[in-house]
A and B are shown apart, each in its own frame.
Chain A
Amino acid sequence: MMMLTQQPVLEGTLSGLNLSYSIQGKRLITELDCVINRGGPTALLGANGAGKSTLLHLLAGILRPASGMVGLDGEDLASLSSRMRAQRIALVEQAVANEQPLKVFDVVLLGRTPFQGMFAGPSEDDYAAASSALQTVGMAAFGERHFHTLSGGEKQRIHIARALAQQPRVLLLDEPTNHLDIGAQLGTMRLLQGLAVKGMTVVAAIHDLNLAAQFCDQAILLDGGAIVAAGPIEEVLTPATILEVYGVEAAILVHPRSGRPLVVFD
């Protein structure tokens, strides 16, 4: 029934090669190379304006790079139709307000758009995929609720469910924990970690370094549209890189329970 099980397991390796992007003469991404594999989630770090969102949009294939290319498992994204691209890569944007009385299940069904024809409505596969996506994010009971009545954390879960309904190999998220209370932040990150463990490539732009350190295995640290450091998160997060990128003094401790890096600021 589910299409994923019939397909050979694909690597979900996303790579950027010599990516550049500028808008109105301003360079937002400059000759950037990166390779992102599945495994633990990858954190995209950097100060405001460092190019995190732009890079995510380039990797998602929504923005076309001025030069360079984005590859997914050896395919050039630019050579894929937008439908095929959307069947492989899903993007969860920063929250966009919506006050329309949309049912949660309808929002999740939106993720099936790339599988539907121009005129045809949702198929049985679409319902099944949407249902199972809702279950995966632990929101199966919320299908008939109105989306705008949910809490911030619940909304984020629904957005992730919508992305999962696309059955993508790669899930990209732009600051998924923004504006959430700490419980919802942890819940969201655990969910992403779980998806990554199950074999999805997960990349999230994150502001909170400790949240990234706790849940992400890999990190890419951006500054001025270029990579400052990339690799295992304990190698990326050092007092030197944090000072360089954020301009603040920091010490890296070891989390007493998880053994992961813990950033404390002076």
Chain B
Amino acid sequence: MRALHSQAGALPHPVLISPDPESTYRTRKRRLTLLLLLLLAIMLLSLATAAAVGPTYISPAEVIAVVAEKFGAAGPDPSKQVQNAIMWELRLPRVVTAAVVGAGLAVGGVVMQGLTRNPLADPYLLGVSSGASLAAVSVLLLGVALLLPLAAFAGALAAMAIALGLASSSGRLSTTRTVLAGLAVSSLASSLTSFVIFWTAQGDSYREVLSWLMGSLSGSTWSSAGIAVVGFLLAGVPILLTGRMLDAFAFGDSAASSLGLNPARIRWAMMGAVALLTGCMVAVSGALGFVGLVIPHVVRLLAGAGHRTVLPLSALTGAVFLIWADTVARSVLSPREIPVGVITALVGAPAFAFLIWRQKKGS
């Protein structure tokens, strides 16, 4: 790392100078590529191993065999029909949903924190989760005839539209107004949600509602995985490709415009993308907290704050984290399930606290 070299020719004697920033930068870039590949491998491995965990143990090798069979790469094995059904119908859609939701929420969190320069921002800043919760609880309790994910998605977008409408003044989205508008919309939607629960919930429906409000992946099917994947492809991937621009916001909007960017347009596009992304994730997972708030911070603490680094690392870390949090949620008290939102914070908060403590010691 500390390459000491001489500037031959320029100076009469070899002179020790500090590391050349360019070459250090290239080393750093290579290391990032390696890290990304490593995390990608860990994520794929996690998908296979987490799918193996459950009341019926199915080895990771068999998990891969099931996938291979479904994609026509291997012939069917009739002796394992039940196992295959458990794997294909229950576990695989669930781990895939967990991975994509984890990635999506983490990416949404990075963007919101970057755009508002507020460490407490998360993808739910625009009231997306509260709007989705209100819609979902209404569907669950009032029996409004709409599919649950569809209702949640509509609620998320409605809340986001109201919040952005409130926040924008003459076409601009100021940071403070955005945070405050999101707060207003969230508070209203949350209180309406509480009212609906208080007024109509009884018996078992309480548990169902509570599990949705805390975030749960228990109902995951291939269609929920599909919603999450489509949301990630439509909004998450474009963010990953262009998120570099968020770096320019590090020193405020004027600095971004002096670099030739259009902060107003970028803000609208990015917020819109996050709302779409989060809307899709909330629709299938409920109001799952912690991931979108904390994963970005964990990644920044470990890898630095440049968005070219933080965005892809957060996506992969979020995916791995949620795969395992959900595995814990569905297996520790098996056959009962804990809402995964409980686990994310229960496991994640101490880990995060440790990182903060370690960083304090290091500096």
Contact = CB atoms under 8 A, between A and B. Distances in A.
Contacts of B255: 91, 93, 96
A166 B252 contact: no
Contacts of A110: 247-248, 250, 259
B248 A113 contact: yes
Contacts of A101: 300-301, 304-305
Interface string B1-39: 000000000000000011111101110100000000000
Could you tell me the dominant secondary structure of chain B's interface residues?
A: helix
Nearest to A95: B251
Given A60-B258, A87-B260, A121-B244, A102 B21 contact: no
B305 A93 contact: no
Contacts of B304: 101-103, 106, 146
A119 B242 contact: yes
Interface in B209-259: 241-242, 244-245, 247-248, 250-252, 254-255, 257-259
* Most-contacted residue by chain A among B21, B244, B251 (CB, 10 A): B21
Contacts, number: 103
A127 B258 contact: no
B19 A106 contact: no
Interface in B42-69: none
Contacts of A144: 19, 21, 24
Interface residues of B, number: 36
A166 B261 CA distance: 13
Contacts of B241: 119
A35 B301 CA distance: 47
B252 A96 contact: yes
Nearest to A82: B260
Contacts of A82: 257, 260-262
Contacts of A86: 258-260
A68 interface: no
B22 A128 contact: yes
A219 B244 CA distance: 38
Nearest to A85: B260
Given A82-B262, A146-B304, 12 more contacts: A60-B258, A93-B251, A100-B305, A101-B304, A103-B304, A106-B306, A110-B248, A113-B245, A121-B308, A131-B22, A141-B17, A144-B21
11 contacts: A84-B260, A89-B258, A90-B258, A101-B301, A101-B304, A103-B306, A110-B250, A111-B259, A121-B308, A130-B22, A144-B24
